[in-house]
Chains A and B, each alone.
Chain A
């Protein structure tokens, strides 16, 4: 089982410069936990101290904002793409 996690440049720097990572897990939270374990510097940028996403970071599961799908509890499956996008854009 493999999920692809896409990172923006500002976070890829903290993952040895890799903008795309292959990760396992049953939920989005599992995916974030695994990546955080592999790249400890990335961990505090993906979750706040309560374990939730920051207001300035949006996670998309395939094309959908995870806030419409249960947040980090959203189920993921083989082939899914999770995209992390800084929300400081638009308007």
Chain B
């Protein structure tokens, strides 16, 4: 089916009429709450998640295939009743088989789930923001906001512009210039905060309380997080309704990996796939690796860190879902690895050279960590591996290895080209 055609921005009345969000339940103590813009359990302060009716009608693979190629084709697993009105065209990014990368890693087959070309803001954050903004509209919130390491800022700014919502985005002061530019251009109020992402995050928790805005990864987080599941649903469908034996994803707040585990479980429960769940592998930068440290330690609380890495999109020292991500990794039989900044730069180059996909620092971390996990034997020669590439390299061009930028300059003479060619 063709993509739906929409016109933006939508009138406020149209936005509000659309959806009924699901009620919520605490992931820690099980307490139940009505649908509301809150992500915190009033009993134990644990995280809230949407409640789904286990008796709801679910579509078959054939019915899903007949729907438009967007993330809304999995709407029965998203937290709403009714028809969405905002961001109808997000999702369904390419799954690319990568034989040269598989050879470099020493695995049987490898695929790249390529959210570097996600629409409209070139990262997987389009998925979560699509769901969060529909929740905001359903709750009648006219202002949305976020704490961001960059990609989320871009997504909130872009989706809010289309929806006709006011957007405030809060980012660390030292964020990459391309990510600042890709937020301000949409008319969002971009505020740079002196401090780390964790400082920004704390501020946004207070902003949500004080101003009542829809802060997508604070008070709308229960709904927002469910958008990540569509990354996993698409992988399963694009592999031909089956699961890989292994999957590696970058770890920032830890939500993506735990939601991928949830997605694969939901598709298994629905009978849409039948394989065992994949071994899940996590990737962090060595300068900010609290989840890797927890996986290696095996148990106990997460120990926050102060980030020091060029992988700013992963620089979350106190990841909210770190414990859940580590648990998902351990339960699946997977593992986690941290790589230094030089290795992640080479990871960006390796992915580009072997697949034609230019990713940002998080993708470099993911590729380099896959290489590390293959070398250490955690990834096996018979593995069918999916690499989750979540962002676009044009946002972090300064992260490339310096040697790649050492390009020749010549006079416009054929003899000089010939001289270069003879040295190849």
Instruction: Please indicate which of the listed interface residues B45, B197, B202, B306 has the most CB atoms of chain A within 10 Å of its own CB.
Output: B45
Known: A9-B209, A55-B302. A90 touches B45 (CB 8 A): no
Q: Of B61-69, B313-321, B378-386, which stretch is located at the interface?
A: B313-321
**Is the CB–CB distance between B316 and A91 below 8 Å?**
yes
Distance, CA A65 to CA B302, complexed state (A): 14
Query: By DSSP majority rule, is chain B's interface helix, strand, loop, or mixed?
Result: loop
Known: A65-B304, A67-B304, A88-B221. A55 touches B202 (CB 8 A): no
Chain A contacts to B: CB under 8 angstroms: 6, 8-11, 13, 19, 45, 54-58, 60, 63, 65, 67-68, 83, 85-91
* B144 → A minimal CB distance (Å): 15
Closest to B212 in A: A9
Q: What are 16 contact pairs spanning A and B, CB under 8 A?
A: A8-B206, A55-B301, A57-B45, A60-B202, A65-B318, A83-B202, A85-B202, A85-B205, A85-B206, A88-B320, A90-B147, A90-B204, A90-B319, A90-B320, A91-B217, A91-B321
Interface size class of B (residues with CB under 8 A): 35 or more
* A24 → B minimal CB distance (Å): 24
Give the residues from 177 to 213 in chain B that come closer than 8 angstroms, CB to CB, to chain A: 195, 197-199, 201-202, 204-206, 209
When distances are taken between beta carbons in the complex, the residues of chain B under 8 Å from A58 are: 202, 318
Per-residue contact bits, chain B 324-342, to A (CB 8 Å; 1 contact, 0 not): 0000000000000000000
Chain B contacts to A: CB under 8 angstroms: 28, 38-40, 42, 44-48, 147, 195, 197-199, 201-202, 204-206, 209, 215, 217-218, 221, 252-255, 301-304, 306, 316, 318-321, 323
**Is the CB–CB distance between B318 and A86 below 8 Å?**
no
Closest to B204 in A: A89
Known: A56-B44, A58-B318, A83-B202. A89 touches B218 (CB 8 A): yes
Distance, CA A91 to CA B323, complexed state (A): 13
**Is the CB–CB distance between A86 and B252 below 8 Å?**
no
**Is the CB–CB distance between B44 and A54 below 8 Å?**
yes
Distance, CA A54 to CA B47, complexed state (A): 12
* A2 → B minimal CB distance (Å): 21
* A62 → B minimal CB distance (Å): 12
Distance, CA A9 to CA B320, complexed state (A): 19
A56, A60, A68, A91: the one within 8 Å of B254 (CB):
A91
**Is the CB–CB distance between A89 and B221 below 8 Å?**
yes
